[in-house]
Structure 1
Amino acid sequence: MTTINTYLTFEGNCENAFNFYRTVFGGEFAHVGRFSDMPADPNYPISDEARNQIMHISLPISKECVLMGSDTGGHGGPLTVGNNFSLSITTDSKEKADTFFTQLSAEGKVTMPMDNTFWGDYFGMLTDKFGINWMISFNEASQQG
């Protein structure tokens, strides 16, 4: 099964926003990760200010829908309100993830090629030729349950 969810991006106030969304929709966070949880990478240094900001947070809204988000952490350039979201596709196979990524990135811009990540997903990001941001992921462990 493939799902598409909304991924929101903030400049330092993601945690506040998601605490608000939790009061609206109810439930508990499925995951809260901070930039300080990332392995150190000299190519992407994390400022002291960004270390406690949200790298990834997810709030299940229903069985099929998860609201996700993060702070920019100072990466990716300035945030533009109105374009501070991505559509996040989670697939049930690596092949499907690659197919979606290849097709959506045609004439667009790859911002992070598909690859295995430290959090366990096969993951990539792109902006399609219409300016829409996409995140594509596959998690093999979730398929074995």
Structure 2
Amino acid sequence: MGSLKPYLISEDARAQAAFYIQSLGGEIISVSTHGELMGVQNEFKDKVMHMCIHVAGGNSIFMADSIEPFTSGTGISLTIAYSTEAAAGEAFAKLAAGGKVKYPIGMQPFGLFLGELTDKYGIVWMITAEPKAPRP
């Protein structure tokens, strides 16, 4: 059995990780630079080669600094399901800071509390919660 973990490439992995930890709760588990892991002594020596953060109750996200030009946030959405609408709403509001809301968080016609946004780093997030009680 495998375990899926998103790996985000960033222009500033440390700042992006701090934003996610502040928005979702969590911590940095490990961070290693190109200088530490590969002995690089050039302009990349202090760039993050690998970082692991835990957010929203222990979900792992791996991150690294880009050393080549890239377009962030294309073709992937990250989803976190919360146990309460209040927790989902709080995380949504924090992630939306500086970003763009696509669908405001709220009860959807298909019976799920859901909102979608693009954060200030270009990552698309779908935040959900099961409704407290069955809807008629």
TM superposition score normalised by structure 1: 0.44
Indicate the structure whose relative CO is greater, using CA pairs within 8 Å and at least 6 residues apart: 1
TM superposition score normalised by structure 2: 0.47
In our comparison, the structure showing a higher alpha carbon Rg is 2
